[in-house]
Amino acid sequence: MNRLLGWSVGLPLGLLVAVFAISNRTAVHLELWPLPIDPIALPAFLVVLLPLAIGLIGGVTLAWIAATPDRRQSRDKSRRIESLERQLGAIRGRPDGG
């Protein structure tokens, strides 16, 4: 189900980005005032999509970092469950019925 949802959202979005990039190839002169850098000629789609991609990557990275304590807690609980299941199996496997 998740794979179908990913494809049904990702494919049209990818096509939209491709059409946007093809339609906006005109050069744009980017000047970063007050920095003493000469104006840079970039395609218009790059001026729009590059900051979007950087923001997306930054947001995903921050979310991943923020979820680290939850992942650690889940891993610790999983190890504890496995240990308790082994102990329970050893208790149930006793010949004295304990």
Which pLDDT belongs to residue 94?
A: 72
Model confidence at 97: pLDDT above 80: no
- Whose tokens are 């807690």? That residue is 73
Residue 71, both tokens: 């992942």
41-70 pLDDT, tens digit each: 999 999 999 999 999 999 999 999 999 999
Which pLDDT belongs to residue 54?
A: 97
Domain positions in the chain are 2-66
Question: What's the 3-state SS for 34-58?
Answer: CCCCCCEEEEHHHHHHHHHHHHHHH
DSSP-derived secondary structure letter, 35 = S
Residue % of the chain over a pLDDT of 70: 96
- Total residues found in the chain within this entry: 98
The mean pLDDT of the chain is: 92
Q: What is the mean pLDDT of residues 5-9?
A: 92
Q: Specify the higher pLDDT residue, 10 or 94.
A: 10
